[in-house]
């Protein structure tokens, strides 16, 4: 994998903290508390985006990382809205840097694939930012494997490469195992997946009648509201009760234990909600328990779907 380190040379933490809730579901005080809980707990990789909470995420995160900037790996994203043209990348990246009061970031993602902009335009812009020292690494989020490989081929003609991918991945969303993770291993790309808790489903809270994204956001309801997913969440909660471990801890630790060694993004609305995910930093996920948890969900077939060859 690409040797991702902080500016001071420290290796990245097992988990990544996502600041998507900063300035939204988490107010200033709660955002600060979660940042310190994550950093003090051992996380040195922090993730945000131009589009998150209309800029509040970056505005809040910027001052928080300042005292330890050399020891923190900072990632943001551009290109979710208005496409990934050179003009929009530069415009949005400049605004992101102003919000965070940062001259440079460690990682800049293209937030999603843009069918309307030539990859040569997008990645020549990223290569230029990299050569200027404004970004250290290049990432892509929400790309299919074939899109990553097309972009990788273009990047290599420009003397650079894609270093990081950010797909969705959890016990109830395992599509990344089919092509994205094998591709990442082959291309020496680090995987930093989001939503290891399945929109909160794997915490077990919805079975208790609590509210959250699945009850408040139609997109998340559509994404996770399938009977087998709820059954998996219930079984994970039962396993957690058996082991005396919060199911959220099991879900995050399981996602991090895949053989490509992803660095899952954890997030929350409060420090209390975040704590079980942080506990995954020190949780030992043995192979037997990993397989037991994997068996709770549907394992996707290989890309060729020739099961007899496994």
Distance CA 166, CA 169 (A): 9
- Cα atoms in the 13 Å half-sphere on the side-chain side of 81: 7
- Positive or negative: CA dihedral 153, 158, 164, 169: negative
- Positive or negative: CA dihedral 40, 76, 21, 200: negative
C-alpha dihedral, 38 to 41 to 43 to 44, nearest 10°:
100
C-alpha dihedral, 295 to 301 to 307 to 310, nearest 10°:
-70
**Distance between alpha carbon 69 and the CA centroid of its chain, in Å?**
20
Catalytic annotation on 109?
no
**DSSP conformation letters of 115-130:** TTS-HHHHHHHHHHHH
Q: What is the per-residue burial (b if ≥16 Cβ within 10 Å, else e) of 272-285?
A: ebbbbbbbbbebeb
C-alpha dihedral, 129 to 131 to 132 to 134, nearest 10°:
50
**Distance between alpha carbon 171 and the CA centroid of its chain, in Å?**
15
Token couple for 85:
């043209």
CB 212 within 8 A of CB 224: no
Read off the DSSP letter of residue 43: -
The catalytic position among 50, 52, 206, 224 is 52
Type and span of the H or E element at 231? helix 227-243
Active site residues: 52
């Amino acid at each position: 994998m690409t040797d991702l380190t902080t500016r001071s040379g420290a290796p990245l933490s097992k988990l990544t903290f996502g600041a998507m809730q900063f300035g939204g579901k988490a107010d200033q005080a709660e955002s600060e508390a979660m940042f310190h809980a994550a950093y003090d707990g051992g996380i040195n990789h922090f993730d945000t985006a131009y589009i998150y909470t209309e800029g509040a995420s970056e505005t809040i995160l910027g001052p928080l990382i300042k005292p330890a900037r050399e020891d923190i790996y900072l990632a943001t994203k551009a290109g979710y809205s208005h496409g990934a043209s050179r003009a929009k990348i530069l415009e949005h990246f400049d605004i992101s840097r102003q919000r965070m009061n940062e001259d440079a970031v460690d990682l800049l993602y293209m937030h999603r694939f843009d069918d309307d902009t030539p990859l040569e335009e997008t990645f020549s812009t990223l290569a230029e930012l990299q050569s200027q020292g404004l970004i250290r690494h290049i990432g892509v989020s929400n790309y299919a494997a074939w899109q990553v490989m097309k972009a990788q081929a273009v990047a290599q003609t420009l003397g650079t490469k894609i270093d990081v991918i950010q797909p969705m991945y959890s016990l109830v969303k395992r599509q990344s195992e089919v092509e994205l993770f094998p591709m990442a291993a082959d291309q020496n790309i680090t995987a930093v997946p989001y939503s290891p808790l399945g929109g909160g489903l794997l915490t077990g809270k919805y079975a208790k009648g609590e509210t959250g994204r699945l009850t408040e956001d139609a997109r998340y309801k559509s994404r996770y509201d399938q009977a087998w997913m709820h059954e998996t969440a219930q079984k994970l909660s039962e396993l957690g009760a058996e082991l005396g471990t919060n199911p959220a801890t099991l879900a995050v630790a399981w996602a991090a234990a895949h053989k490509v060694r992803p660095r899952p993004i954890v997030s929350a609305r409060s420090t209390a909600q975040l704590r079980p995910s942080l506990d995954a930093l020190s949780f030992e996920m043995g192979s037997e328990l990993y397989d037991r948890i994997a068996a709770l969900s549907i394992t996707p077939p290989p890309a060729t779907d020739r099961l007899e060859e496994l």
